[in-house]
Amino acid sequence: MTRALIVIDVQNDFCPGGALAVPGGDEIVAGINALMAEVEAVVLTQDWHPAGHSSFASSHAGNAAYEMIEMPYGPQVLWPDHCIQGTDGALFHDHLNTDRADMIVRKGYRPAIDSYSAFFENDHTTPTGLDGYLRTRGIKDLTMVGLATDFCVNFSAVDAAKLGFKVDVRMDLCRAIDLDGSLAAAQSGMTAAGVTLV
């Protein structure tokens, strides 16, 4: 068996004190580092937005953070400015073992489209390249952890299952934003897609 650990967006802006802080986001770092010893491959994702990104509420006059708008590719939550390329907020959490990473996937770098998933941007068609990377390495089993359970982990896990990977999400090593029931919706959506919640 060849298993990869996919570590989603464990970055300063998603940890307490960050611009889009996920409650308890920093509590999962030690457990993620420990899990790296049990897998063949480690992939980190990094939310990586240009300043003025279209997913930022500040880019839409008249809209506030956490409102929903319609984009050409579908509905989009508007977020506080976060994970801007080159800022401290976009860096991985200081204690995350980044040395162990074989691959770092950056996403959300196109100004006009957001990318929650590690596999496809929010139009659900533009690939990040991660599918090809994993396939060419012969990896079929994935364990996913990170931030946030109900957005980037959820979208990544569902896409991976659709692509044919066998996906486990370690819920104890994820933390959620939980916007209007988004955590419960994510849990049932992942389960329906064939993802195993551990």
User: Where do contacts with ligand VGL occur on this chain (CB under 6 A)?
Assistant: 9, 14, 47, 79, 116, 147-148, 151-152
Q: How far is the CB of 140 from Zn ion (least distance, A)?
A: 28
Our answer to whether residue 107 is catalytic in this structure is yes
Per the structure block, which two tokens stand in for 34? 């420990």
CA distances from 86 to 25, 46, 48, 70, 107 (A): 21, 12, 9, 28, 14
Smallest distance from ligand VGL to CB 108, Å = 7
Least spacing, CB of residue 135 vs Zn ion, in Å: 26
Of 13, 15, 81, 107, which is the active-site residue?
Answer: 107
Least Å distance, CB 66 to ligand VGL, is: 10
Based on the shown chain and the rule CB under 5 A, indicate whether residue 121 belongs to the binding site for Zn ion. Answer: no
Residue 40 or 69 with smaller CB distance to ligand VGL: 69
DSSP state of 142: E
Tell me the site size for Zn ion, rule CB under 5 A: 2
d(CA 148, CA 164): 22
Query: What is the number of the residue whose Cβ is closest to Zn ion?
Result: 47
Give catalytic status of residue 166 as yes or no. Answer: no
Catalytic residue among 83, 152, 159, 174: 152
**What are the C-alpha distances in Å from 18 to residues 97, 182, 197?**
19, 21, 27
Whole-number Cα distances in Å, 25 to 5, 85, 142, 192: 18, 20, 21, 26
**Which residues in 28-47 contact Zn ion (CB under 5 A)?**
47
Residues in the chain: 198
For residues 65 and 79, the answer to whether their CB atoms sit within 8 Å is yes
CB nearer ligand VGL, residue 84 or residue 152 = 152
Short-list 66, 44, 82, 74, CA closest to 182: 66
Is 9 one of the catalytic residues? yes
The one segment of 25-33, 63-71, 103-111, 136-144 that binds Zn ion by CB under 5 A? 103-111
> Which residues are near Zn ion by CB under 5 A?
47, 108
Active site residues: 9, 107, 152
